[in-house]
Structure 1
Amino acid sequence: MTSPPRRRATDTRPIPFPVLIADIGGTNVRFSVQAEVHSPRRDYETVHTHDFPDFASAVQTVLDKTAIMPHALLIAAAGPIVGGHTKLTNAEWLIDPEKLRAELNLDTVITFNDFEGVALALPTLTDDQVMQIGGGESIPREPRVVIGPGTGLGVAALVYGDQCYRPLAGEGGHVDMGPVSDRDFAIWPHIARFHGRITGETLLSGNGLVRIYRAIVAADAARDRGCAEGADVTSAAHEGDPVAEEALDLFFTYLGRLAGDLSLIFLPKGGVYIAGGIVPRLADRLAASPFRVAFEDKAPHRAIVEEMPTFLITEPKPAIAGMASFAILPERFALDLRGRRFDR
């Protein structure tokens, strides 16, 4: 007796076009429209999350600029998806897909974690969309990891099996981090905790860069230039301020350590990818920083980690690109969309 063919736990139903695609972060919202399967993606102006009371109001800025009325909406949001709803971790919006579908007269709404959206883009990124920072060759269909400091810290992975890719989303930005070097032990007591903890996001975010800067100032009784935002620290570093320069070096060191830890967990021979709103603007500093040294400092498994390639994603809208890839060819991915896909 022949057993029935095994079915993948995935949702490959076609998505009705045109598709409006939104990447919602704690600071910015990026929009794009994929009108048809074979048409070029059309990007729209990025807007600031805090300029609007809710997501539907932000969407209207796009609808006012296009004659295309979307039939579907794909959303990547910076926060955990619980019961279909998403509360942004670093902003006050609550994303309610059923309410959005009714308000915007859509056929379909699908929600993703923001770095799940970035992970969807990893198989299709080309050489001109990434910059390699050390390591060996990327091996096709091997696991890949993406990490990205921005308003918060996003983490996701992508694995291949059963002839399709499966993104693994989580809240990896909130894992604990601890001091390693003598310098760390000197400044660690001065780092402002977040919810009583020092996590990846405590250090590897815009506010995290400020925390590192202020900890150095306190530990050394150094001159304080009053840096209140991550951009202030990077500007001061460009001007040659030694405290800001060290803060950036430590930022990249801690990014390398956490990325290296993720490599030990996933053994991503396909590569570790860096995204987010901060590091792509600092590509030259990243390449010259201690990032890769910290990434490889994983004895007794240094030899394994040394071979793993690390890449900076230079594509400006990777989550948008990932969701567009999913909209065009959903059968390429294994995604269980129960509780995340809402149809008329």
Structure 2
Amino acid sequence: MVTQADTDHIMKFPILVGDIGGTNARFAILVDAYAEPKEFPIIQTADFPTIDEAIQNAILDHTSIQPRSAVLAIAGPVEGDEIDLTNCAWVVKPRQMMETLGLSDITVLNDFEAQALAVVSLEPKHLEKLGGGAGDPHGSRAVLGPGTGLGVAGMVRSRNSWVPVPGEGGHVDMGPRTARDFEIFPHLEHIEGRISGEQLLCGRGLQNIYRAICKVNGTEASLQTPADITAAGLSGESAEAKETLALFVIYLGRLAGDFALTFMARGGVYLAGGIVQKIVAPLKDPSFRQAFEDKAPHGEILRETPVYIITHPLAALSGLSAFSRTPTRFGVSTEGRRWRRD
């Protein structure tokens, strides 16, 4: 039986879905509930002054399909009628967007809600396991995504629905534990006296760790970009870059273990984003699981908790597509985050 509440959740096809981060924006169009999403080339946010122009010029001008609805995930808190992105100059203005792009229904979610939606939507072929047990298929899950920033979200099961739990977990405190940490941490860039997860576990974090290591070692920090540091670390051509990746893996393991306990993530912890997809080999080093499980007195819980790398290149779009097709499967509150034309 379809209730009025169910009808209220339904969006009209075609539906534009978009995953908008600090650096890149990814879009696809769902023609109907059964078709595979029609994907478009990834957009660099810096190439367009506004999101409206990006969608018009890079998406709508290249297809005959006119979306009627949109579900957008953005990197930042969703508040009010003008929504700022945390690491991007774009401002999402849904009421204006309905006028300029001809849409009648717009829902805006947090980008890591989209990643959380993905972890119950992806096929096993898009997941690479990093140890642990089988996991509870109905158990809570946690998602961490080092990228331009550090996104964190949970996914919990309630009343036969999956409920994404977004937040700003990437800004929790990080502290030193080992002798090497105590050498390096004084040289890390901090924010108002504190070092957060995002100061270590994102592209900027790779640079932060690398420069601190070079400072301690008395060497020149000649590598400038996260991509350069990652490449030099993977190839072994730079000892400092190689240690940067090793510490990045350990710090990610520690924080992933913290959030596994926070959400009691018996369904698993999922690592998302482009950075983790580039460092699969370092993540398979035993140091990751050791850091993840080193949570006395709860080490046994974490030894059984699986960790997965999400290998799907457009995982968030997959999650948004799953939500768009069957919104009643998910306990997503759209109050204050959905705009509809009467």
The TM-score, its normalising length taken from structure 2, stands at 0.95
2:29 maps to what in 1? Answer: 33
1:70 maps to what in 2? Answer: 67
1:277 aligns with 2:267: no
2:217 maps to what in 1? Answer: 220
Inter-CA distance 10–178: structure 2 relative to 1 (3 Å threshold): farther
Q: 1:138–1:271: 8 Å Cα contact kept in structure 2?
A: yes
Deviations along 1:251-274, one digit per CA (max 9) or x if unpaired, are 011100000001111110100000
Find the partner of 1:247 among 241, 244, 247.
244
1:4 maps to what in 2? Answer: none
How many matched pairs? Answer: 337
2:262 maps to what in 1? Answer: 265
Find the partner of 2:9 among 2, 13, 32.
13
Q: Where does 1:1-344 land on structure 2 (aligned, <5 Å)?
A: 13-60=9-56, 61-224=58-221, 226-240=222-236, 241-288=238-285, 290-344=287-341
Deviations along 1:119-160, one digit per CA (max 9) or x if unpaired, are 111112221010000100121111000000000000000001
Inter-CA distance 107–221: structure 2 relative to 1 (3 Å threshold): same
After superposing the two structures, state which structure 1 stretch, 77-86 or 126-135, moved more: 77-86
Matches of 2:5 and 2:303 in 1, distance apart?
35
Q: 1:10–1:337: 8 Å Cα contact kept in structure 2?
A: no
Matches of 2:265 and 2:132 in 1, distance apart?
12
Q: 1:87–1:94: 8 Å Cα contact kept in structure 2?
A: yes
Q: CA deviation at 1:239?
A: 3.2
Q: CA deviation at 1:69?
A: 0.3
3-state DSSP of counterpart to 2:9: coil
Matches of 1:289 and 1:206 in 2, distance apart?
23
Q: CA deviation at 1:324?
A: 0.4
Q: CA deviation at 1:289?
A: 5.7
Structure 1 stretches lacking a partner, 5+ long: 1-6
Deviations along 1:70-106, one digit per CA (max 9) or x if unpaired, are 0011110001111254211111111111111121111
3-state DSSP of counterpart to 1:32: strand
Q: CA deviation at 1:300?
A: 1.2
Q: 1:28–1:48: 8 Å Cα contact kept in structure 2?
A: yes
Q: 2:183–2:216: 8 Å Cα contact kept in structure 1?
A: yes
Matches of 1:273 and 1:325 in 2, distance apart?
18
Matches of 1:105 and 1:147 in 2, distance apart?
35
Q: 1:10–1:334: 8 Å Cα contact kept in structure 2?
A: no
Matches of 1:304 and 1:338 in 2, distance apart?
36
Q: CA deviation at 1:238?
A: 2.9
Structure 2 stretches lacking a partner, 5+ long: none
CA RMSD of aligned residues (A): 1.6
Q: What's the % identity of the aligned pairs? A: 44
- Amino acid paired to 1:28: N
- Amino acid paired to 1:328: R
Inter-CA distance 209–38: structure 2 relative to 1 (3 Å threshold): same
Q: 2:135–2:304: 8 Å Cα contact kept in structure 1?
A: no
Q: CA deviation at 1:194?
A: 3.1
Q: CA deviation at 1:8?
A: 12
Q: CA deviation at 1:10?
A: 8.8
- Amino acid paired to 1:249: A
Q: 1:11–1:336: 8 Å Cα contact kept in structure 2?
A: no
Matches of 1:123 and 1:108 in 2, distance apart?
25
Matches of 1:319 and 1:127 in 2, distance apart?
16
